[in-house]
Amino acid sequence: MVDIKGIAHFTIPVSDMDRSKAFYTEVVGMKHLATVPDGQMAFFDAGGTCVILVKRDAPIHRQQEGSDGLHHAFMIDQDSYKAALDHVRANGVEIFFEEDRQGGVVNGPRAYFRDPDGTCLEYIVLTSYSGARKG
């Protein structure tokens, strides 16, 4: 069996690179690291995990998923959770679902919203994860 150590990066398709770079830095809170010279890929840091935006033709999503579908979750601290949601809303972004899920595999308060292309994003205060490594 392969012993996975973590996630090196994940990629999100976007239709307008400049708009998405602004959204992911100013709204989501990631740090921009670099953009390739042709502008087709941009690299960001999200708390020690690399996120890559890749330019694709619109529409990115023909059917929007709900909170139980495809999404990307970003961990935030309990102390900054309310302020983070207030910040998202202040930027005109709707939080379409919020809950405090407990007793499952991935637990904690969470809220779901969409990027400009409709990709579902989540902020979560991770209170427990059943796959956490011990020791």
Tokens at 58, concatenated: 């619109």
**Residue 129 pLDDT class (50, 70, 90 cuts):** very high
**Residue 67 pLDDT class (50, 70, 90 cuts):** low
Q: Give just the sign of the alpha carbon dihedral 123, 128, 131, 135.
A: positive
State mean pLDDT over 92-113: 95
Q: Are 86 and 94 in contact (CB under 8 A)?
A: no
Q: Give just the sign of the alpha carbon dihedral 24, 127, 95, 63.
A: positive
Q: Which has the closest alpha carbon to 124: 83, 81, 93?
A: 81
Listed in order, the ranges of the chain carrying CATH 3.10.180.10 are 1-57, 66-135
Q: How far apart are CA 26 and CA 30, in angstroms?
A: 8
pLDDT, tens only, 74-90? 999 999 999 999 999 99
pLDDT, tens only, 14-62? 999 999 999 999 999 999 999 999 999 999 999 999 999 999 987 776 5
* Domain spanning 1-57, CATH architecture: Roll (3.10)
- Cis ω for the linkage preceding 59 (within 30 of 0): yes
- CATH superfamily for domain 66-135: 2,3-Dihydroxybiphenyl 1,2-Dioxygenase, domain 1 (3.10.180.10)
pLDDT at 113 over 80: yes
Supply the pTM of this predicted model: 0.89
